[in-house]
Amino acid sequence: MTTNSTAMPQEEEDLVCVSLELAAEAAGDISAAIYVDYFARCPGSEALMSHIDHLVRGKMLEEVFRLLMTQNYAEEQGYLNFEMRNHRLAYSVEAHMYGNLLDAILATVRTAVGDDWTTAFEAAWQKRLADLSAEISARVS
């Protein structure tokens, strides 16, 4: 039997996506838990979002999850530029609210994953959150 030394290596698993899948398997829809944590961390956001129903909140989290599952934000530049400007002008979103939301998502996922949470998951999340936060910070003044 011979081995093919030119075989392409398998793509490394995205641990952020893996942990999101584990959270969904363990806890189902974690959206409500994320918002409870988020509003506790950022009370001003609850008042700001008081007129938004659960469907719109769900859509918002869907977009954040999509961004969290993105490893390279080069193709998201137009979307991020539009959204950050729109959030500031239309909704009076303050810069600190983004970090509070991302922290609430991480805490909720970590809790849902429970004993299966690893240092590798933590490292992957910290890097992804830092990358996404840098993209957001570049657009928020």
107-117, pLDDT tens digit by residue? 999 999 999 99
Residue 77 covered by a domain: yes
Q: Nearest 5°: CA angle at 135, between 72 and 75?
A: 35
Residue 100 covered by a domain: yes
Burial of 47 (0-12, 13-18, 19+ CB in 10 A): exposed
Please, which pLDDT band fits residue 95 given cuts at 50, 70 and 90? confident
pLDDT at 6: 42
Residues 28-36: what's their mean pLDDT? 97
Half-sphere exposure of 133 (CA within 13 A, CB side): 15
pLDDT at 7: 41
Burial of 97 (0-12, 13-18, 19+ CB in 10 A): buried
| Position 3 pLDDT exceeds 50 | no
Supply the DSSP symbol for 71.
Answer: S
| Position 36 pLDDT exceeds 60 | yes
pLDDT tens figures, 61-76: 999 999 999 999 999 9
Residue 10 covered by a domain: no
Residue 65 covered by a domain: yes
Residue 88 covered by a domain: yes
Residue 41 covered by a domain: yes
Residue 48, domain CATH: 1.10.490.10
Q: Which domain holds residue 40?
A: 15-137
Residue 62 covered by a domain: yes
Query: Which of 40-49, 64-73, 90-99, 110-119 comes out lowest in average pLDDT?
Result: 90-99
Bigger pLDDT: 18 vs 83: 18
Measured between alpha carbons, how far is 123 from 141 in angstroms, rounded to an integer?
Answer: 28
Total domains, the chain: 1
CA 41 to chain centre: 16
Question: Is the backbone of residue 76 left (phi > 0), alpha (psi -120 to 50) or beta?
Answer: alpha
